[in-house]
Amino acid sequence: MPFLGAFSGIIFLLVGIVQIYVGYIGIEYHLGAGFAIGALVLGFVFRIMFPLTIGTFFGAMDVFGWPWYGALALAAPGLLFIVPALVTGAISTLFEKKAQSNYSFNNNNYSESAPINVTPKQKTITKKKVKKIIKKKVIKKRKKTR
């Protein structure tokens, strides 16, 4: 089985190289060599493959004389898998029942009630405590000056 994965990877790379070649040929046929090299730079440097994909389509159709569906299959083979999935997804939505939501989005805990004060209360200091604190500070200062 590992052989099958390696073989598929090699086939995948070969199809990619053929797409690049046919894309270059198609852009060169319609727009010239400068644009074809520019499309290669866009593809390899900036990872923008759309011009090469369009060039592959027109290269297979106009240069090689393939029918449009063959050129489309070469240019965008992913469409062979995407289109059936889209069609089955669209048809499945017609036959599915809509699930009713049992969720309630009414959360009245915070909407109308006033915010709760959660700050701690300050300690109250009486005059006697203040006098004791001042007296201790005065005594410490006197001891330091002696």
Mean pLDDT, the chain, whole residue set: 85
**Average pLDDT over every residue of 105-127:** 70
Question: Which tops the pLDDT comparison, 48 or 82?
Answer: 48
Q: What is the pLDDT of residue 36?
A: 97
Pseudo-torsion of CA 24, 28, 32, 38, nearest 10°?
A: -10
Please tell me what DSSP assigns to residue 110. Answer: T
Locate the domains of the chain by residue range.
2-95
Q: Read off the pLDDT band of 103 (50, 70, 90).
A: low
Least confident of 8-22, 35-49, 85-99, 103-117: 103-117
Over 70: is that where the pLDDT of 39 sits?
A: yes
Over 70: is that where the pLDDT of 100 sits?
A: no
Query: DSSP labels for 16-82?
Result: HHHHHHHHHHHHHHHH-HHHHHHHHHHHHTS---HHHHHHHHHIIIIIS---HHHHHHHH-TTHHHH
pLDDT by residue (tens digit) across 53-96? 999 999 999 999 999 999 999 998 877 778 888 888 888 888 87
Please tell me what DSSP assigns to residue 115. Answer: P
